[in-house]
Chain A
Amino acid sequence: MIQFTNVFMTYPSGNKALQNINLSIEKGEMVYISGRSGAGKSTLLKLINLIDRHARGQIIVNGQNLERITRKRIPIFRRNIGFIFQNHRLLDDRTIFDNVALPLIIAGSNHQEVKRRVQAALDKVDLLSKINSYPMELSGGEQQRIGVARAVVNRPAILIADEPTGNLDPMLSWEMMKLFEQFNQVGVTVLIASHELDMIKHMNKKIIILNKGRILDSNNENKELLKN
């Protein structure tokens, strides 16, 4: 599903963000990417979603070599990926319905389908009652769950989350991770970047640990590192 082969990424400033990354994530797998700030977690996710295209090496996502995707084809490619941000990035002047409906409207779904799928997605994150509210009326945890509903509403093949629990307390963080697990259980490939190693090591999923742009552990073999 996602394959990195000899991927290097250097920012124009000369900062080496990723160095010789080789990894493979299978379809339906749930993988955590961890490491300290600046380790390259976000850069790796940005490469998958074509937000950044300055990498060397080969990246294959959903059977497509990213290097060969033209600018014009990027929107179609992105419709298969749901993205969740640390700061949820909801549109404050739109209702929860409008926020969650956005990927469906982009994809050209008809009104009935939009309504049905938005309700289903909000029901899944247990926030159907907030359908007519505005983001500012919701708590941080609720806003993050709306971000999840927006990411999954178009049934993407891959779900990517960049520090989704960064602004949440431990209880809400745990609930959020469990929510991702539920999506994974129905076949969605889930990739989560998180620096909260203590929490994710209890999730019993594959963990890729990055340090200064290099993979330290991609098979949970470095038990010492996980313990620390």
Chain B
Amino acid sequence: MKKYIKIWLTQNAHAFFFSLGQYIKNPINNILTTVVIGISLAFPAGFYVFLNNIQILSKDWDNVIEINIFLDTKISSEQAHIFTERMSARADIAEVILVSKDEALSEYKKLSGFSDVLNVLDDNPFPNVVLIKPVFNDINESKTKDLVNELKAMHEIESVQYDNKWLKRLVHIIDIVKLVIFILSVLLAIAVLLIIGNTIRLSIYSHRHEIEIKKLFGGTDSFIQRPFLYSGLWYGMFGSAIAWVLVTTSLQILSEPIKNLSELYANNFQLIGLGYMHTSYLFSIGILLGVFGSWLSVKRHLYSIEPN
């Protein structure tokens, strides 16, 4: 048993280095094939990074469920402050901000440019507004609706505004994008399989003479197929490396403009790239596709070659 394991390891080591040597011997063809594989892998990897970043961004938005409470215009500033304190004391409310009617008026004057017209008015037409953020992240609205209904019943409150439709739409759009990316990734994985399968098929036929000789001297099917499987491994591994470089370089190019854009929205969002974990996934998937693609090709073509 020990002897057979030793033979198996020796033959694997031989096929491992031999296939690497073959890869290096034909650099132009192999590099071109690897680049095509790399681009095919870079698309799903890039899509994944894009999706990951969108999800991180939307997660921040999830926590920004904001309810605007417009207090009755008869409510004085003191009463508004008491109401705000009462809201702050609630366990289901995380944050409460009071925008008093005076603050609202001065802000409107500043933004609208109608300050002269507003000065003519006898009374301040703006109500006191209380902005609250619930503690829960309630995208399905059930808890939020309960809270809004409870608030509406309070006598100090004129009206309550809550609109999370845009957030719901975004969540659904992200779900659709996820599905599209999944379908594209599957299609591109099939493309990688076909590219590697076809490359190995050509390699098998260009080594036809060698395969016949090996069979004549007692080479088993597994011995003969091993270098081709390792070739698939090299294509998958080097293709993944190219995909990683393409995605990382693209992120580097995009990171500064995106940072500048996010700053305009008072956000310090930064692009997240492929971490160690996702880089290892990329390489694992690339290698698996490489070996599987070559295995399919070997199964299909190698056994049809017999010495004559």
Residue positions of A touching B, CB distance < 8 A? 46, 49, 51, 75-79, 83, 89, 91, 93, 102-103, 105-108, 110-111, 150, 154
B278 at the interface (CB under 8 A from A): no
The answer to whether B217 and A102 have CB atoms under 8 Å apart is: yes
What's the minimum C-beta distance from B226 to chain A, rounded to whole angstroms?
A: 11
The 9 closest A-B pairs by CB, nearest first: A108-B7, A79-B218, A78-B218, A103-B217, A75-B218, A75-B220, A106-B219, A106-B218, A51-B307
The answer to whether B307 and A108 have CB atoms under 8 Å apart is: no
The answer to whether A79 and B217 have CB atoms under 8 Å apart is: yes
B210 at the interface (CB under 8 A from A): yes
Q: Which residues of A contact B213 (CB under 8 A)?
A: 89, 91, 102
Q: Which residues of B contact A110 (CB under 8 A)?
A: 6, 10
What's the minimum C-beta distance from B67 to chain A, rounded to whole angstroms?
A: 74
Q: Which residues of B contact A49 (CB under 8 A)?
A: 216
Q: How many angstroms from the CA of A153 to the CA of B217 in the assembled complex?
A: 11
Which of B25, B212, B223, B306 sits near A106, CB closer than 8 Å?
B223
What's the minimum C-beta distance from A100 to chain B, rounded to whole angstroms?
A: 11
Q: Which residues of A contact B216 (CB under 8 A)?
A: 49, 51, 78, 83
Which of B6, B212, B214 sits near A102, CB closer than 8 Å?
B214
Q: Which residues of B contact A93 (CB under 8 A)?
A: 25
B14 at the interface (CB under 8 A from A): yes
Q: How many angstroms from the CA of A49 to the CA of B212 in the assembled complex?
A: 13
Which of A78, A91, A103, A150 sits near B209, CB closer than 8 Å?
A91
Q: How many angstroms from the CA of A75 to the CA of B14 in the assembled complex?
A: 19
The answer to whether A83 and B209 have CB atoms under 8 Å apart is: no
B11: nearest residue on chain A (CB-CB)? Answer: A108
B140 at the interface (CB under 8 A from A): no
Q: How many angstroms from the CA of A111 to the CA of B10 in the assembled complex?
A: 9
Q: How many angstroms from the CA of A46 to the CA of B28 in the assembled complex?
A: 40
- Interface size band for B: 20 to 34
Which of A46, A89, A107, A150 sits near B218, CB closer than 8 Å?
A107
The answer to whether A89 and B209 have CB atoms under 8 Å apart is: yes
Q: Which residues of B contact A78 (CB under 8 A)?
A: 215-218
The answer to whether A51 and B214 have CB atoms under 8 Å apart is: no
What's the minimum C-beta distance from B24 to chain A, rounded to whole angstroms?
A: 13
B308 at the interface (CB under 8 A from A): yes
Q: How many angstroms from the CA of A12 to the CA of B119 in the assembled complex?
A: 109
Q: How many angstroms from the CA of A75 to the CA of B222 in the assembled complex?
A: 11
B22: nearest residue on chain A (CB-CB)? Answer: A93
Q: How many angstroms from the CA of A108 to the CA of B226 in the assembled complex?
A: 14
The answer to whether B219 and A91 have CB atoms under 8 Å apart is: no
Q: Which residues of A contact B223 (CB under 8 A)?
A: 75, 106
Q: Which residues of B contact A106 (CB under 8 A)?
A: 214, 217-220, 223
What's the minimum C-beta distance from B19 to chain A, rounded to whole angstroms?
A: 14
- B214, B218, B221 pick with most chain A CB within 10 angstroms: B218
What's the minimum C-beta distance from A183 to chain B, rounded to whole angstroms?
A: 17
What's the minimum C-beta distance from A102 to chain B, rounded to whole angstroms?
A: 6
Q: How many angstroms from the CA of A55 to the CA of B214 in the assembled complex?
A: 24
**Considering the complex, which residues of chain B in the window 181-214 have a beta carbon less than 8 Å from any beta carbon of chain A?**
209-210, 212-214
Q: Which residues of B contact A154 (CB under 8 A)?
A: 217
Which of A46, A76, A91, A103 sits near B210, CB closer than 8 Å?
A91
Q: How many angstroms from the CA of A83 to the CA of B216 in the assembled complex?
A: 8
Q: Which residues of B contact A111 (CB under 8 A)?
A: 10
What's the minimum C-beta distance from B217 to chain A, rounded to whole angstroms?
A: 4
Q: A51-B308, A102-B214, A110-B10 are in contact. List 7 more A-B contacts (CB 8 A).
A: A51-B307, A75-B218, A75-B223, A78-B215, A106-B217, A106-B218, A154-B217
Q: Which residues of A contact B221 (CB under 8 A)?
A: 75
Which of A51, A83, A108 sits near B217, CB closer than 8 Å?
A83
Q: How many angstroms from the CA of A108 to the CA of B6 in the assembled complex?
A: 8
What's the minimum C-beta distance from A121 to chain B, rounded to whole angstroms?
A: 13
A92: nearest residue on chain B (CB-CB)? Answer: B209
What are 8 A-B contacts defined by CB distance under 8 Å?
A46-B308, A51-B216, A75-B218, A78-B215, A93-B25, A102-B213, A102-B214, A108-B6
The answer to whether B215 and A75 have CB atoms under 8 Å apart is: yes
Q: Which residues of B contact A77 (CB under 8 A)?
A: 218
